[in-house]
Amino acid sequence: MSTVKKLTVTALFLALSVALPPLFHAVGLGQAFSPLHIPALACGLICGPLYGLICGALGPLLASLINGMPPMAMLLYFIPEMMAYGLFAGLFFKLIRTGSTLADCVVSLLIAMLIGRVVGGLVHGAVFLGGGAQYSVSIWLGAYFAGTWPGMILHIVLIPAIYFALEKAKLIPKRYKKA
């Protein structure tokens, strides 16, 4: 994919970073479905690790500035986590070659979601423990996994669907050429 296409798709995902959270939160599904994660993960997968990292950094910032979601105080936690999602979704999608685009997508997303949640937990832990507050593995598991599993499932279903739709529309190249 050309640099111009990557920049255009990244801009689209940045716009979705601003648009999706208010839509999900308006119907009470924001926290469970983690809509801000979708653009960073999808951008990394489709455009590559650098663009995913940029989308992960700028998406929460733009969303916060434009619509107040996430609140500015939360950017310290959101930005490193979103950067990790975009970076690692793209990196692992480049590295993993199972012969199945769907398998490559799902495995890359699962790894990126795990690493992003570890990064988010480490940042939370550093801030909370540095400020004298309590933080534990059980708090991290509850905040980053128990409450967000519906979002993880949505991401595993939706993001490959987006990838295949773009591939079918010939907006991105086929990952595997049929022999």
Question: Residue 82 belongs to a domain with what CATH number?
Answer: 1.10.1760.20
For residue 55, what are its two tokens? 């989308």
Asked whether residue 94 is assigned to any structural domain, the reply reads yes
DSSP assignment string, 88-135: HHHHHHHH---S-HHHHHHHHHHHHHHHHHHHHHHHHHHHHHHTT---
Asked whether residue 73 is assigned to any structural domain, the reply reads yes
> 32 lies in which domain range?
3-168
Domains identified in the chain, total number: 1
Cα separation, 145 vs 110, whole angstroms: 12
Asked whether residue 176 is assigned to any structural domain, the reply reads no
Instruction: Please give the average per-residue pLDDT across 150-155, as a whole number.
Output: 89
Under DSSP, is residue 25 helix (H, G, I), strand (E, B) or coil? Answer: helix
Asked whether residue 163 is assigned to any structural domain, the reply reads yes
For residue 117, what are its two tokens? 């949640």
Asked whether residue 25 is assigned to any structural domain, the reply reads yes
Question: Each residue of 26-73: pLDDT tens digit?
Answer: 887 767 678 889 999 999 999 999 999 999 999 999 999 999 888 888
Question: Each residue of 107-145: pLDDT tens digit?
Answer: 999 999 999 988 988 887 787 666 666 767 776 676 666
Cα separation, 175 vs 166, whole angstroms: 11
Cα separation, 131 vs 118, whole angstroms: 20
**pLDDT of 179 over the 60 cut:** no
Asked whether residue 174 is assigned to any structural domain, the reply reads no
Asked whether residue 119 is assigned to any structural domain, the reply reads yes
Asked whether residue 175 is assigned to any structural domain, the reply reads no
Question: Each residue of 153-166: pLDDT tens digit?
Answer: 999 999 999 999 99
**Confidence at residue 1, expressed as pLDDT on a 0 to 100 scale:** 85
